[in-house]
Amino acid sequence: KNLKFLCKTKMASLEGIQSKTQEIRDLTKMERTGTHSHIRGLGLDDSLEPRKVSQGMVGQIEARRAAGIIMKMITQGKIAGRAVLIGGQPGTGKTAIALGMAKSLGEDVPFTMLAGSEIFSLEMSKTEALTQAFRKSIGVRIREEAEIIEGEVLEIEIDKSVQSGAKSGKITLKTTDMEAIYDLGQKMIESIQKEKIVAGDIITIDKASGKISKLGRSIARSGDFDTVGASSRFVQCPEGELHKRKEVVHTVTLHEVDVINSRTQGFLALFAGDIGEIKQEVRDQIDTKVSEWREEGRAEIVPGVLFIDEVHMLDIECFSYLNRALESESAPIVIMATNRGMTKIRGTNYMAPHGIPLDLLDRLLIIQTTPYTQKETQQILEIR
């Protein structure tokens, strides 16, 4: 009796954990409304001409056109070793243009947002903070070939031993060309019961991990009204052989790879928050491995966007690091924003435009923003 009670309480706690994880997953899908959450792009047409009001962007016609031309150069790979500076008064849409550029590049392209004052920390050196920001903005698209079994479930047989209580079973899968019976282990039986797989479902089984994914119901079973729910999806019965090779694409940032390889707890360190400094040897090894994968055709580099707001807050050491980092072959597109005119370069007594040293300023493409009119401000508030 005690054993049964323990089992029940354990099952209840597991169900509670599963429901909590489900809640967390649902929460991550929620769109939180922020200052720039209404921006979906730069609002340009095919000839890079800005529309007056489009994709959440209002006004700033010249600045948006300039940003569009730079975006075209980025996508064609014709711009390298350069950065973009967006200059203008506070509240003239500098951050909005940077976010619009990131959205125009696509969901797969990494976008890192950083304020100039964020890098001054007691836990981490300034160059380490900038290195991490750079590597967060560089994605690696890794291609892998996975072996899968894909077919329609004809029959599932699960037997339970009277003596030991161990489960064993068989599953019959078919395609339009062939049919086969597979033996099921304990974990596979649990996965099938968890996914609520029944005869007539189209499933895929990853041979390496044993993960079962339910694609939907077979069209041949569309007449079975008793098994059809509101969210049921009907899929064609797969053709050809049951065993197939499928290409899987993962996109990760170099920083994520750094953290996983530099910490004993592996990928869990990404959620811990306390990342700290990462040794240069680890980064060099990762760069070597990624370059090997690139030569083999297994991976490709996806240069993202690093947006540094309040760039006048950086000091001379940071600017010298940026000057060197921009020359790297896998450097992201660096977009800076400032609202200062002639001001002192932090850490020196020299005056310079925007508080940026002249040698770095020569590398920058400058986009100027102008104040919004009263009508444009009203339109922004309406969209928001």
Q: Tell me which range, 107-111, 131-135, 235-239, is most confidently predicted by mean pLDDT.
A: 131-135
The CA–CA distances, whole Å, from 196 to 152, 203, 239 equal 14, 11, 24
Q: Tell me which range, 15-29, 157-171, 261-275, 364-378, is most confidently predicted by mean pLDDT.
A: 364-378
* Arithmetic mean of pLDDT over the chain: 79
pLDDT band of residue 20 (cuts 50, 70, 90) is: very low
The DSSP call for residue 119 is: G
User: CA-to-CA distance for 242 and 246, rounded, in angstroms?
Assistant: 12
The CA–CA distances, whole Å, from 230 to 216, 227, 234, 253 equal 12, 10, 12, 38
Which pLDDT tens digit goes with each residue over 97-116?
888 887 887 777 788 888 88
pLDDT band of residue 219 (cuts 50, 70, 90) is: confident
Q: Tell me if 70 sits within 8 A of 365, measured CB to CB.
A: yes
pLDDT at residue 229 tops 60: no
pLDDT computed for residue 26 by the predictor: 41
Mean pLDDT of 329-353: 87
The CA–CA distances, whole Å, from 84 to 58, 69, 152, 209, 305 equal 21, 12, 53, 44, 11
Q: Which of 145, 146, 147, 150 is nearest to 239 (CA)?
A: 150
pLDDT at residue 24 tops 50: no
Mean pLDDT of 295-320: 87
User: CA-to-CA distance for 138 and 108, rounded, in angstroms?
Assistant: 11
User: CA-to-CA distance for 149 and 243, rounded, in angstroms?
Assistant: 5
pLDDT computed for residue 340 by the predictor: 87
User: CA-to-CA distance for 348 and 319, rounded, in angstroms?
Assistant: 12
Better-scored residue on pLDDT, 81 or 364:
364
Which pLDDT tens digit goes with each residue over 67-84?
888 888 877 767 766 788
Q: Residues of the chain with pLDDT > 70: what percent?
A: 83
pLDDT at residue 14 tops 60: no
pLDDT computed for residue 42 by the predictor: 84
Give the Cα-Cα-Cα angle 356, 253, 362 (nearest 5 degrees): 20
The residues, ordered by sequence, that sit 6+ positions from 77 with a Cβ below 8 Å of its Cβ are: none
Q: Tell me if 243 sits within 8 A of 147, measured CB to CB.
A: yes
Task: Of 3-17, 127-141, 172-186, give the lowest mean pLDDT range.
Answer: 3-17
Written as one string, the DSSP assignment of 190-246 is: HHHHHHT--TTEEEEEETTT--EEEEEEEGGGTT-GGG--TT--EEPPPPS-SEEEE
Better-scored residue on pLDDT, 119 or 19:
119
pLDDT computed for residue 226 by the predictor: 53
Backbone φ and ψ for 212, nearest 5 degrees, come out as -105, 130
Mean pLDDT of 284-302: 87
Backbone φ and ψ for 338, nearest 5 degrees, come out as -150, 155
Which pLDDT tens digit goes with each residue over 135-173?
888 888 888 788 888 888 888 888 887 777 778 888 888
Lookup: tokens for 223: 């007449």
pLDDT at residue 368 tops 70: yes
pLDDT band of residue 381 (cuts 50, 70, 90) is: confident
The CA–CA distances, whole Å, from 285 to 192, 193, 203, 288 equal 41, 43, 39, 5
pLDDT computed for residue 3 by the predictor: 41
pLDDT at residue 184 tops 70: yes
Mean pLDDT of 119-124: 77
User: CA-to-CA distance for 308 and 318, rounded, in angstroms?
Assistant: 12
User: CA-to-CA distance for 7 and 11, rounded, in angstroms?
Assistant: 6
